[in-house]
Amino acid sequence: MLKRISLNRGGLYTGPAYNALREELLTRAKKHVIDELEPYFEHARRVTGFAVLCDGWTDVQGRPLLNFCLATPKGSHFLRAVDCTGFEKDGIFIFEQLAKVIEEIGAEHIVAVIMDGASANESANKLLEERYPHIFTLHCTAHALDLALEKIGELQFFQSCIDKAKKVVQIITNSHGPHAILKQKSTLRVLKPGDTRFDTAYISCARLLKCKSAAWQTVVSDGWDTWAKKPANKDRSAVAKTIILDEDFWLAVKLFCKLLKPMVRLMRLVDSNMPSMGKVYPMCAQIEEHIKAVGLDDNVQESVSKIFRERSRRTSGRTATIIRSQPTSSGTRKEFKEPERFAEWVQEIESDDENMDEEEFEEEEDDN
């Protein structure tokens, strides 16, 4: 890249040396970023306070790391990563690392600590609440929702539908013939579900549902018959064709997508940079009502409601404790004790929720 820049400048530019890049210039760039963030930090210290975000992961070298970020109304800012090599990431260790961050920023400036619901994190939360009674310890809403979606997908009623959808997508995307025929029938392409999060299974099923007509046309086309006649493709073609021509399969996919759509929408909201704490509890209450109205069998509805309630209450219950006394946009404070009493506030929230309307959500699905 530097050679190209040099050529564009007539060969007069010489890039910085290796040591300068990794020492002086890197230090200068870090200072520049810190200086730009300082006004946001100062506003958080004086007005809103910080939320500490903590999450564990493993890098490409296999090192166990703990990431620490600070969340403000202006967005989340990376603080540092701690190498946990040689240490057991139990509750005491995580608590000690969090305590260092809290003392560094100032305990009086910290409003909440947010982590996922792992057992070690639960232990750390209890220790934090004992030392810092004013700090809320919250579960990561996105992580809780992802686990809820995964558990719902494991129900026998939906597992068969998801497995069939994955099989169809796999056969189409891994075979040049069917893939080419589908591209002729539709401008959309089917999407493979990823392994990182369960909402990708929803995205894959939702896209397959949009391609239903094109999929039907594909399996009844002459090109499909030609491809299916080859011995290597005989079994795969029969499986895919049977699934695609089964109307019960499409009804199950439609029901699955209808059920999960508001849950995925909430997951994307809490995973974005938009302030969302005040919307979690009322939206969870709405989803509980949505589950009842989807049209599931009584046993399936009860199982889905139980899974969602168990996961969402871990995060929305404490969130509700915080937001019940928060001012609304009109400047007044309201007390809501039951989900059904949130109707008025939900309307107020939805009127301000222009960035997450239906059309944008559909566009996000297409991009993915």
Q: What is the chain's pLDDT, residue by residue, as a tens digit (368 residues)? A: 667 766 766 666 677 788 888 888 889 998 898 888 888 888 888 888 888 999 888 888 888 999 999 888 777 788 889 999 988 889 999 999 999 999 999 999 998 898 887 888 889 999 998 999 888 888 888 888 888 888 898 898 899 999 999 999 999 988 888 899 999 998 888 887 766 666 788 888 999 999 999 999 999 999 999 999 988 888 999 999 999 999 999 999 999 999 999 998 888 888 776 767 777 878 888 899 999 998 888 999 999 999 998 887 766 555 544 444 343 333 333 333 444 434 444 444 444 444 444 444 444 444 44
Q: DSSP string covering 8-27, please? A: HTTT---PPPHHHIIIIIHH
Query: Which of 348, 342, 351 is CA-nearest to residue 316?
Result: 342
Q: Which H or E run contains 56? A: strand 50-58
How confident is the model at residue 290, as a pLDDT? 92
Q: Which pLDDT score is estimated for 12?
A: 67
Q: Domains of the chain, with CATH numbers?
A: 2-139 (3.30.420), 146-367 (no CATH)
d(CA 29, CA 50): 24
User: Would you say the pTM of this structure is higher than 0.85?
Assistant: no
pLDDT at 196: 60
Alpha-carbon distance of 277 to 68, in angstroms, equals: 19
Please check whether residue 124 is in contact with residue 94, taking contact to mean a CB–CB distance below 8 angstroms: yes
